[in-house]
Chains A and B, each alone.
Chain A
Amino acid sequence: MHNLKKIINYQLRDAFRSKLVIFYFLFFLVFTSLMFRFIGETSGVITNILNINVSFVPLLTLLYGTTFFYNSRGYILFMLTQPVRRTDLFLGIWGGVAIPLVLAQLVGVLLPFIFFSRLTGDAIVPLISLLVTGSFIVTVFLALAFFVAVWQDDKAKGFGVAITVWFLMALLYDGFILAISIFFADYPLETPLLIISTLNPIDLARIFCLIHMDASALMGYTGAVFKSYLQSTAGSIVAIVALLLWTSIPLTLSVLKFKKKDL
């Protein structure tokens, strides 16, 4: 445990100097500020950041995560000559990437909100759900990136797999849902679709946010069904737990593999 902290500590020092984290922070800062300037309305701004969160962020974290792990190969080999548990080392590296990215995103989004909006009661809940799901998107896809990188030693293949993962989750999965709803149009699909959607972190994050943004209240029966599931406390807990599982399961599998891996 002590070693884990140490590793994260060193990683953080390294990461906060990295150009990508700074770029990531500035991107959210500028983007959110611009949105406030052009749209002005809090819910519109949140919608646009959500769009970024479900498309650009997964891709970026996947690619950054895999690159980072491949580039840390030398560092990993060196560290393993020291009396350090492999689990600590792996989680340390992962945390050292995840924490700065999450922080960069949180602060980058939050600062413009504090400056430009009054943060009234109506805006608080959507904002919190946006920040929480956004953070989870980062951790989930970093975990997946590390998972890919541990299992696939070939850098080029790794990138290929990472992009495929993004493509599957961000695009194809929705196509799959669309196909299901068209094939089984005669059946009441609200609940099954909700369950299928929670199996994909991107969809889950998106729906969770939308439901807390009042947009779904406007969508009649179907919206009401989704809302009644996910807006309840139990629904929120289920969603958060699902996102936690999406982070922890790939991480655990990667750790297991990393422990036995012949480096």
Chain B
Amino acid sequence: MIRLLFFLFLLGVSFISTTPGKTLVVQPNGKFKSLATALEAAADYDTIIVKSGKYKTNNLIIEKSVTIIGEGLPVFDAAGKGSVLIVRSSFVTLKGLKIINSEYSFRTDFAGVRLEDVSNCTISDNQFYNNFFGLYLQRTNDIVVTGNNILSFATAQASSGNGIHLWYCKNTIINGNTIAGHRDGIYLEFSSKNDIFGNVAKRNLRYGLHFMFADSSVYYNNKFFKNAAGVAVMYSEFIDMHNNLFFDNKGTSSYGLLLKEIRRSVISGNKFIENTKGIFLEASDKITLKNNLFQKNGWAILLMSNSMENNFERNTFIGNNFDVATNSSQNYNTFTMNYWDNYEGYDLNKDGYGDVPFHPVSLFSVVVTEYKPTLILMRGLFTRLLDIAERVFPSLTPKQLIDEKPAMKRTV
């Protein structure tokens, strides 16, 4: 009986607490002419509807758990002074707003929307335009960022901010956003267990997606193209990267995917197409790369000698200038069952795998890695003859770096 009463009591409490509050309407000629006045009148769990119009907003602090929904894309304009909205309460929802013109600064990280020490907020379907940082999350938990369009016009790395910036954030879901023209599209620092999927990051000055000390995160089904340098994953463990597209990240020091000090991660089902360097691995260990497609890259894989125990399995290499390049004559990584379009072996027993091992590192790629200007000899008769000679009698290329079971047909 007591148990039943307690249950009813709980039910009652939960009913009261989830009862939706009142709804306030902000419009240019209504009772509430600005979001600030509406916020003053609002209580926790109220809903504020903002009708379309232009609202000048600087550093407006949201300290109540309210839902703010824009109707007809109301514009919140900081006009180059400070941030636009600062959320300091949990359970806040921002939806359908247009947030523009936060201040550019070298000292303070002004942003379109800042979330500070909060949890369980949702930022969805907003437009961010010409902000220094788009969305800035600091020490947050369980935030959902979905369907936002984040566009800025950064010109130099030093004076620009990131599209979505996470600093000490846990369990963030970042889904379906489009980020362009920032420094990094999405930046994670000291942030673990985040899910990043279905986003598009393009034309950013530095990386489309940038991990620093962001363990146990997952990112998939994202598209990264025309960024100065693709995606960088640094100093992290247990990262799962799958089904992403890395396309057209070209430039002097440009990568599709840059891995630095990454361990125990999985990279599968990604497509690396037309990047200067498909994947660059430095000091990265115990990574499984499988079922990826490398097509028409300058270097498909650049494997630095301090990377060990990585496993390249069932990847497909087509039309790359260099399949694998390395700066080491040793090899502590395994390559197996990959498809190489440069493979000239045969398959007598018809098991689908070539009978002769394949050496993915050509002599010319060793030479170019060491002496960059020799690139001018690319596709020449001389280099081709050298490559053939080297393939017959390997001397300079790493002898152990071979694919014992090269696939005869594309794996992807």
Do A190 and B380 have beta carbons less than 8 Å apart? no
A170 to chain B, nearest CB (A): 5
A111 to chain B, nearest CB (A): 24
Once the chains are docked, how many angstroms separate the CA of A69 from the CA of B371? Answer: 43
A179 to chain B, nearest CB (A): 10
| Chain A interface main SS type | helix
Residue of B251, B274, B372 contacting most chain A CB atoms (<10 Å)? B372
Do B373 and A218 have beta carbons less than 8 Å apart? no
Q: Is A210 an interface residue (CB 8 A)?
A: yes
Known: A41-B319, A220-B252, A221-B252. A215 touches B378 (CB 8 A): yes
Once the chains are docked, how many angstroms separate the CA of A206 from the CA of B296? Answer: 19
Q: Is A177 an interface residue (CB 8 A)?
A: yes
- Encoded as 1 (CB less than 8 Å from any B CB) or 0, chain A from 174 to 187 comes to 11011001100100
Do A174 and B379 have beta carbons less than 8 Å apart? no
Do B380 and A222 have beta carbons less than 8 Å apart? no
Residue of A41, A43, A206 contacting most chain B CB atoms (<10 Å)? A206
Once the chains are docked, how many angstroms separate the CA of A185 from the CA of B369? Answer: 12
Give chain B residues whose Cβ lies under 8 Å from the Cβ of A206: 379-380
Tally chain A residues at the interface, Cβ within 8 Å: 38
Do A193 and B378 have beta carbons less than 8 Å apart? no
Once the chains are docked, how many angstroms separate the CA of A189 from the CA of B251? Answer: 19
Give chain A residues whose Cβ lies under 8 Å from the Cβ of B155: none
B250 to chain A, nearest CB (A): 6
B317 to chain A, nearest CB (A): 14
Known: A44-B319, A178-B367, A218-B274. A223 touches B375 (CB 8 A): yes
Q: Is A8 an interface residue (CB 8 A)?
A: no
Q: Is A50 an interface residue (CB 8 A)?
A: yes
Give chain B residues whose Cβ lies under 8 Å from the Cβ of A177: 374, 376-377
Q: Is B191 an interface residue (CB 8 A)?
A: no
Q: Give how many A-B residue pairs fall within 8 Å (CB-CB).
A: 93
Contacts of B234-287 to chain A: CB distance below 8 A: 250-254, 274-277
Q: Is A152 an interface residue (CB 8 A)?
A: no
Known: A47-B379, A170-B381, A171-B385. A218 touches B374 (CB 8 A): no
Do B296 and A218 have beta carbons less than 8 Å apart? yes
Q: Is A162 an interface residue (CB 8 A)?
A: no
Known: A178-B367, A178-B377, A178-B382. A218 touches B297 (CB 8 A): yes
Contacts of B350-374 to chain A: CB distance below 8 A: 367, 370-374
Once the chains are docked, how many angstroms separate the CA of A41 from the CA of B295? Answer: 12
- Encoded as 1 (CB less than 8 Å from any B CB) or 0, chain A from 211 to 233 comes to 00001111111111010000000
Do B376 and A226 have beta carbons less than 8 Å apart? yes
Give chain A residues whose Cβ lies under 8 Å from the Cβ of B371: 181-182, 185
Q: Is B321 an interface residue (CB 8 A)?
A: yes
Once the chains are docked, how many angstroms separate the CA of A40 from the CA of B384? Answer: 22
Q: Which of A50, A194, A219 contacts B321 (CB 8 A)?
A: A219
Do A220 and B298 have beta carbons less than 8 Å apart? yes
Q: Is A51 an interface residue (CB 8 A)?
A: yes
Once the chains are docked, how many angstroms separate the CA of A218 from the CA of B250? Answer: 6
| Chain B interface main SS type | loop
Q: Is B120 an interface residue (CB 8 A)?
A: no
- Closest B residue to A51 by beta carbon equals B379
Give chain A residues whose Cβ lies under 8 Å from the Cβ of B373: 181, 189-190, 193, 222
Q: Is B138 an interface residue (CB 8 A)?
A: no
Give chain A residues whose Cβ lies under 8 Å from the Cβ of B252: 220-221, 224
Residue of A41, A51, A178, A221 contacting most chain B CB atoms (<10 Å)? A178
Once the chains are docked, how many angstroms separate the CA of A55 from the CA of B385? Answer: 11
Do A174 and B382 have beta carbons less than 8 Å apart? yes
Once the chains are docked, how many angstroms separate the CA of A175 from the CA of B380? Answer: 11
Contacts of A43-67 to chain B: CB distance below 8 A: 43-44, 47, 50-51, 54-55
Once the chains are docked, how many angstroms separate the CA of A181 from the CA of B368? Answer: 10
Q: Is A87 an interface residue (CB 8 A)?
A: no
A164 to chain B, nearest CB (A): 15
Known: A185-B371, A189-B373, A218-B297. A203 touches B380 (CB 8 A): yes
Do A193 and B382 have beta carbons less than 8 Å apart? no
Do B381 and A54 have beta carbons less than 8 Å apart? yes
Give chain B residues whose Cβ lies under 8 Å from the Cβ of A202: 380-381
Once the chains are docked, how many angstroms separate the CA of A220 from the CA of B297? Answer: 11
Do B381 and A220 have beta carbons less than 8 Å apart? no
Q: Is B334 an interface residue (CB 8 A)?
A: no
Give chain A residues whose Cβ lies under 8 Å from the Cβ of B367: 178
- Closest A residue to B381 by beta carbon equals A55
Give chain B residues whose Cβ lies under 8 Å from the Cβ of A181: 371, 373-374
Once the chains are docked, how many angstroms separate the CA of A171 from the CA of B377? Answer: 11
Known: A41-B319, A181-B371, A220-B253. A210 touches B378 (CB 8 A): yes
A163 to chain B, nearest CB (A): 14
- Closest B residue to A174 by beta carbon equals B382
Once the chains are docked, how many angstroms separate the CA of A223 from the CA of B375? Answer: 7
Give chain B residues whose Cβ lies under 8 Å from the Cβ of A207: 376
Residue of B367, B373, B375, B385 contacting most chain A CB atoms (<10 Å)? B373
Residue of A44, A177, A215, A218 contacting most chain B CB atoms (<10 Å)? A218
Give chain A residues whose Cβ lies under 8 Å from the Cβ of B374: 177-178, 181-182
Once the chains are docked, how many angstroms separate the CA of A4 from the CA of B346? Answer: 56
Once the chains are docked, how many angstroms separate the CA of A223 from the CA of B378? Answer: 10
Once the chains are docked, how many angstroms separate the CA of A206 from the CA of B380? Answer: 7
Show 23 A/B contacts (Cβ-Cβ < 8 Å), sorted by A: A51-B384, A54-B381, A170-B382, A174-B380, A174-B383, A178-B367, A182-B374, A185-B370, A215-B378, A217-B276, A218-B276, A218-B297, A219-B321, A219-B375, A220-B252, A220-B253, A220-B254, A220-B276, A220-B298, A220-B372, A222-B376, A224-B252, A226-B376
Q: Interface of A with B (CB < 8 Å)?
A: 41, 43-44, 47, 50-51, 54-55, 170-171, 174-175, 177-178, 181-182, 185, 189-190, 193-194, 197, 202-203, 206-207, 210, 215-224, 226
Inter-chain pairs besides A171-B382, A189-B373, A220-B254, 6 sampled, C-beta below 8 Å: A51-B381, A178-B382, A203-B376, A218-B321, A220-B372, A221-B372
Q: Which 4 A-B pairs have the closest CB atoms?
A: A218-B298, A174-B382, A189-B373, A55-B381
